[in-house]
Structures are given as structure tokens and as C-alpha cells.
Amino acid sequence: MATATMFPGLAVGFAEAMANTFETGRVEELTPEEVSTAIRTCVFLRDLFTQARQSIEEQLSQGVDARAFAAKHEKAVADLEEVVKTAQRVVTKARTSSLLPPVQQFVSSYRALLDDMVSLHQFLAEAVAKAKLPVRPVDWNRVQEAKAAYASGETKPFQRSSKS
């Protein structure tokens, strides 16, 4: 299963190639085969983003060590931010251009890919930000009370209360 740390490079490469194609005006020179390949690439990348989102949600719903999660995904957040910016440039450029129908079809696929990238970036950025939140000050009185409770035999060994 894809994870967000695996594939931003693919998306970055594709987004930059498309940005270059639009910004140099070569988009009108794309052959039908190239347009078709670009659309298939969008579908492929969307599938990867969907898998990545599912994988991250699955990990987080099982519970993870916050700091380990932040360390693992921090770079992916930064990489995704860059690719989203590049893809937004493409979509903005496309919006102000007069495009042939096949290219318009590609832009539609690309816009859907951008939506997926934005959604994943927002979710992952929120999770990493939460993981990196500074720990709030410890209430040391509660700590001392817990230690005293253990010393006087008032604590209990942890036992599950829920059914698994």
C-alpha cells in the first residue's frame, strides 16, 4: 500500500512537467496519445493518493507514537505543499487559456488530482501539527498524589476495561 512518504517525488515530477508544458505554451502541441497518457497518469496518481490517505488514516486510527509519526511524515508535508503549489499554477494557467477539448479533459483530470493532493496535504499537515504540539505543563501535584497512592497501595495494576 502506498504511503505519503513514498510517492511525492512522482507527483512533483509530473506536476513540474505539466507546469512547464503549460507555461511554455506547448500544451496545444500535445498529441492525442500524450493527452491520453497525461490523463492516465492523473488517474494513477489519484489512486496512489487515495491509498496513501487510507494507509495514514488506518495507522492513526490504530494509534501511533506522536513524535515518531511527526518525524516520519514531516518531509512529506513539505513535499506535498510544493507539489500543490505547482499544480495550482497549472490549474490557474489553464483557467485563463483557451484549450482544445482533449486538453480540457486533461485539465479536468488534473484538477481532480489537485483536489486529492490538497485534501491529503491538509489532513497530513493537521496530523503532523497535532503530533508536534508542545506538551502542556505537567501538574506535578497530581504526579505526587499518584506516587503517594502507589506507595500506600492504592493504585491498581492496569487492566483493560473495554472488550477487544
Partner 1 sequence: MPYFVHITDADRAYLNSLPLSDKAKERVEDFIEYAIAQVDDAFRNDPANRTRPDTGYFHTDLLLFDVWGDGQLHRINFVVDDEYAPIGVLIVVYVDHQG
Least distance to partner 1, CB of residue 68, Å: 9
Identity of the residue, 96 or 140, whose beta carbon is nearer to partner 1 in the bound complex: 140
Give Cα separations from 163 to 54, 159, 160 (angstroms). Answer: 25, 11, 8
Among 66, 91, 99, 118, binds partner 1 (CB under 8 A): 66
Q: Is 162 in the site for partner 1 (CB under 8 A)?
A: yes
The grid coordinates of residue 69 equal 509519526
24 alpha carbon, distance to own chain's centre: 29
Q: 93 to 152, contacts with partner 1 by CB under 8 A? A: 126-127, 130-131, 133, 135-136, 138-140, 142-143, 145-147, 149-150
74 alpha carbon, distance to own chain's centre: 10
Q: What contacts 116, CB < 8 A, 6 or more positions away?
A: 46, 49, 50, 53
Among 23, 43, 57, 92, binds partner 1 (CB under 8 A): 57
What does the alpha-carbon distance between residue 124 and residue 104 come to, in Å, rounded to a whole number?
30
Query: By CB under 8 A, which span of 6-14, 22-30, 33-41, 62-70 interacts with partner 1?
Result: 62-70
Least distance to partner 1, CB of residue 56, Å: 9
Q: Phi and psi for 97 in degrees, rounded to 5?
A: -110, 155
What does the alpha-carbon distance between residue 15 and residue 58 come to, in Å, rounded to a whole number?
27
Identity of the residue, 40 or 130, whose beta carbon is nearer to partner 1 in the bound complex: 130
- Using alpha carbons only, what angle is made at residue 129 by residues 71 and 16, rounded to the nearest 5 degrees? 75
Identity of the residue, 101 or 153, whose beta carbon is nearer to partner 1 in the bound complex: 153
Least distance to partner 1, CB of residue 101, Å: 39
Site residues, partner 1 (CB under 8 A): 57, 60-67, 69, 126-127, 130-131, 133, 135-136, 138-140, 142-143, 145-147, 149-150, 154-158, 160-164
